[in-house]
Structure 1
């Protein structure tokens, strides 16, 4: 099975359970005492501006301290779908989704 590569999106731990419980599907989720990290396909930051206080980590190189696996998906895919995660992050932070200019506009 080919891989898409992995990045990670982190949120302060205070938002962890809320995100985990509201997303329609979670992939692998890692956590330490300060941050929770959702594994997403590489390139999930293209044409998106992830809202603060989230942190996007290319290559899933997270700046955490001994993160532990706290959620494993029921299927074989380690990924959390990035668009629902992004929209939930925007809702959680009170930020309007920001797509790259020109995307979805007239050709």
Structure 2
């Protein structure tokens, strides 16, 4: 006997499969909005709980047995080099077809603040943060 799933059942699980390139889009939970667009930052599952516990505020977090993914505002990779083995996914389209929502934010924001997440990812991976030249510096005359 073949088991089939309806589209609403698949979509209700928080992911949408994009067959064109075999990526899964992590969907914002019903009732929340992502006005700034969505990207995602993933880390191997072995870092998941440690990163979750170290970030001061978490938005939506998705996971499967291999990777954990945090939603961040679109463009959170601008001028940042996310440390390996983390993975930055534009459009929150990730190579994790079985990822499921494991943490829903307590507040209205679906986003994890990207700078604290970046710093914690650098710390966990033993990588020095790389800031663009002149970032945070006073303007020169």
- TM-score (structure 1 length as normaliser): 0.94
CA distance in 1, matches of 2:55, 2:137: 28
Instruction: Determine which structure has greater relative contact order: mean sequence separation of CA pairs < 8 Å that are 6+ residues apart, divided by chain length.
Output: 1
Q: Which runs of 5+ in 2 are unaligned?
A: 1-32
Which of 112, 119, 140 is 1:80 aligned to?
112
2:34–2:110: 8 Å Cα contact kept in structure 1? no
Which residue does the alignment assign to 2:95? 63
RMSD, aligned α-carbons = 1.3
| Structure of larger gyration radius | 2
Aligned residues: 107
Residue 89 of structure 1 pairs with residue 121 of structure 2: yes
Residue 33 and residue 2 in structure 1: after superposition, are their counterparts in 2 closer, same or farther (change >3 A)?
Answer: closer
Residue 37 of structure 1 pairs with residue 69 of structure 2: yes
| Residues 12-44 of structure 1, C-alpha deviations (whole Å, 9 max, x = no match) | 000000111111111000001100000000000
Q: Which runs of 5+ in 1 are unaligned?
A: none
Residue 98 of structure 1 pairs with residue 110 of structure 2: no
